[in-house]
Amino acid sequence: MPKKKLEGIIVSNKMEKTVVVKVETLKVHPKYRKRYKVSKNYKAHSEKDLQEGDKVIIQETKPMSKDKRWKVL
């Protein structure tokens, strides 16, 4: 089964080997057919030294901790 990949922006890099990535998606309202943005934060494993504001791609992986289920590619 292929792993999911998402693109987002790093909003926090204050933890060791973990970054918080904000992923925005467009949804369509069922009744009014208007598009709107929905954002969600994911904690991702990263060995690299990344800065806030960097665009990254994260990939689904096995659970590494209570919250971490993604890694930065």
| pLDDT in the model for residue 4 | 94
Q: Can you give the pLDDT of all 73 residues of the chain as single tens digits?
A: 778 999 999 999 999 999 999 999 999 999 999 999 999 999 999 999 999 999 999 999 999 999 999 999 9
How far is residue 62's CA from residue 51's CA, in Å, rounded to a whole number? Answer: 24
Please check whether residue 4 is in contact with residue 59, taking contact to mean a CB–CB distance below 8 angstroms: yes
Q: How many separate domains does the chain show? A: 1
pTM of the predicted protein model? 0.89
Q: How many helices (H) and strands (E) does the chain have?
A: 0, 5
Cα distance from N-terminal residue to C-terminal residue, the chain: 18
CATH number at residue 21: 2.40.50.140
Domain residue limits at 60:
5-72
Is-contact 50 71, C-beta < 8 A? Answer: no
Task: State the pLDDT at residue 20.
Answer: 97
Q: Are 6 and 23 in contact (CB under 8 A)?
A: yes
* Residue 35 DSSP symbol: E
- pLDDT score for 70: 97
